[in-house]
Structure 1
Amino acid sequence: MGDSGAARPWVVVREDGNGNRYRVGRYATRAEAESVVSRFGPAGQRQIYRVERAGGGDAANSA
């Protein structure tokens, strides 16, 4: 992963209705990651966007 993981510990993940997860991007702050998630609008029935700490742990359901 290199040094970028340490500098950008917050990850936005999209999970679809089948449980498949895709990393959307990595961000330096949780606020920055949540701002990106808010641009996707309300959660659809088939996909959820989450803000997570890289390496697991602190996850927050978002739009």
Structure 2
Amino acid sequence: MNDGTVLLPWFVIRQDDNGNRYRVGRYATKAEAQKIADSLHDRGHKQLYSIEKLSQNGSGR
């Protein structure tokens, strides 16, 4: 990238029991984001962890 910025297009999203969604982190690759989501899920918390890619319009969906 020529402008000196780092692109982190993959989000790890946590959804709680009430349906509230929070971005947990941003990652460069899908594999890295999935590894983190799996790690958080394996801790036994009841929250749902998923990954999403940053869309062209800048949203996480």
How many residue pairs match? The answer is 50
- TM-score in terms of structure 1 length: 0.70
**Contiguous gaps of at least 5 residues in structure 1:** 57-63
Match of 1:33 in 2: 33
Structure 1 outlier segments of 4+, above 4 Å: none
Alignment of 1:1-63 (within 5 A): 3-4=5-6, 7-40=7-40, 41=42, 44=46, 47-54=47-54, 55=59, 56=61
Query: RMSD of aligned C-alpha atoms?
Result: 1.6
- State the percentage of identical aligned residues: 46
| Higher alpha-carbon Rg | 2
Kept in 2: contact 1:14–1:24 (CA 8 A): yes
- TM-score in terms of structure 2 length: 0.72
Q: Deviations over 1:11-41 (max 9, x none)?
A: 0000001011111000000000001011111
Between structures 1 and 2, the one with greater strand share: 1
